[in-house]
Structure 1
Amino acid sequence: MTGTFPDLVNRARSLVAGGRRAVLGIAGPPGAGKTTLAESLLAALAPRPPAGLAAGSWVAHVPMDGFHLADAELDRLGLRELKGAPDTFDGWGYAALLRRLLDDRDEMIYAPGFERVLEQPIAGAIGVPRQARLILTEGNYLLLGDGRWAGLREVFSEVWYTDLDPAERLRRLVARHERFGKPPAAARAWATGTDERNATLIAGTRDRADLVVPSALLCSLGADPAHGCLS
């Protein structure tokens, strides 16, 4: 566990002591605040680099979501209705990208992004310049450790687990699905079905994390009320 958001910021900054490149992973179930935490860290860290590094470009955010398999491939595999499950991502490609980032040889590396309205990966959407020393990445299966996720853990300097209250997590998930086009009944069915099965699997990886970020801290992030938690 950790105390405050500034504690997290300082801990993240310390990972690049000496100017080395490091990858900080943020894991957790769907709707647990992984992206909000990563974006909050990015905003806090970017203007306050360690000594010798330039503000802004020293930290980058590369989400795992860009490694969703495209719907055409999910249809070919018969996995469209399981979208979001471990075998509906290119876990091997994700690991290869992170290892390439750690190799620290290329002036610019492009990572895929994910378009939530289309629910499709977008190639070449995120540029990571050579000067980026800290790579923030977040996704469901960073701690899974088997199948296409085997060996992934070794690329991270640390992995943090977002432990949001389950009722609040469900509320956020349903709201997210509605925001991106699902009718209310379908949004709740997906959140309590496919998403919940994945969440149960991910919860089993919690003890492998270097740090657990508690619900109260996650609820405090974000200026917009949608990032708060219901009392």
Structure 2
Amino acid sequence: MTIQNLLERVTSLAASPGGRTVIGVTGAPGAGKTTLVEALIRELNADTPVPEHQRYAHVPMDGFHLSDAELTRLALLGRKGAPETFDVYGYAAMLARLRTDREHVVYAPGFERRLEQPIAGVVPVFPGVETVLTEGNYLLLDQPGWHLVQEQCTEIWYCDQDDAVRIQRLTERHVRFGKTPAAAAAWVRDVDERNAGLIRATKDRADLIIYC
């Protein structure tokens, strides 16, 4: 599956007038979801440099991380990135609004990796946007809150990657954003790979599997 094939698939899934298409991209940590979605968005909006006029937008699930303060209260800080550390119902509600509200700018939250914290209102989705690409780890998880997320998506794609490459990428990313090499390796082993197992089990539920 080439980038061109994916671009054609995105444009073929356009919603009926007045609504929006929401395409989800999921996969294990480090699989290349964000890189893929950002590449698609660049190509799709290449002829429309003014954000207010663009027809395609990227809304990442990472903006729905719970804050460190809340994770500390819940005794979940050491599991940050696991399914229970996200506001899944808020995420589903945002996707539902994005599908139907084309009269207003919809402000979605983002995630600042250097702070490792969600930031409210930093992803504007303008009324002219016709298709939203959203990516995150658990879009196909067989749990109630995540079922609501699935209901908002026209399709969900699974981004696959060789585990050795994925783990190397993931470890390097943790180091780049402040962890020591030893701490990064330990986090990948003890947290990220535990989550990767959950995500890998959802692969067969995807509408499309892409090698990233």
TM-score interval for Structure 1 and Structure 2 normalised by the shorter chain: over 0.9
Percent same amino acid at aligned positions? 55
TM-score (norm 2): 0.94
Query: How do residues 10-21 of structure 1 correspond to structure 2 at under 5 angstroms?
Result: 10-16=8-14, 18-19=16-17, 20-21=19-20
CA contact 1:46–1:56 (8 Å) conserved in 2:
no
Give the whole-Å Cα distance in 2 for the aligned partners of 1:160 and 1:176.
23
Deviation (angstroms), 1:104: 2.3
Deviation (angstroms), 1:5: 1.3
Give the whole-Å Cα distance in 1 for the aligned partners of 2:186 and 2:123.
32
Give the whole-Å Cα distance in 2 for the aligned partners of 1:141 and 1:100.
20
Name the SS for the 1:40 alignment partner: helix
The answer on 1:83 being equivalent to 2:80 is: yes
The one-letter code matched in structure 2 to 1:13 is T
The one-letter code matched in structure 1 to 2:11 is R
Q: 1:168 aligns with which of 148, 165, 168?
A: 165
Q: 1:191 aligns with which of 188, 191, 197?
A: 188
The one-letter code matched in structure 2 to 1:24 is I
Gap change, CA 1:18 and 1:96, over 3 Å in 2? closer
Give the whole-Å Cα distance in 1 for the aligned partners of 2:69 and 2:101.
33
In structure 2, the gaps of 5 or more residues are none
Aligned residues: 209
The match for 2:121 is 124
CA contact 2:102–2:128 (8 Å) conserved in 1:
no
The match for 1:34 is 33
Deviation (angstroms), 1:91: 0.3
In angstroms, what is the RMSD of aligned CA positions? Answer: 1.6
Deviation (angstroms), 1:111: 0.3
The match for 1:212 is 209
TM-score (norm 1): 0.87
CA contact 2:64–2:109 (8 Å) conserved in 1:
yes
The answer on 1:6 being equivalent to 2:8 is: no
The match for 2:145 is 148
Give the whole-Å Cα distance in 1 for the aligned partners of 2:91 and 2:84.
13
Give the whole-Å Cα distance in 2 for the aligned partners of 1:164 and 1:122.
29
The one-letter code matched in structure 2 to 1:61 is H
Give the whole-Å Cα distance in 2 for the aligned partners of 1:105 and 1:18.
12
CA contact 1:60–1:132 (8 Å) conserved in 2:
yes
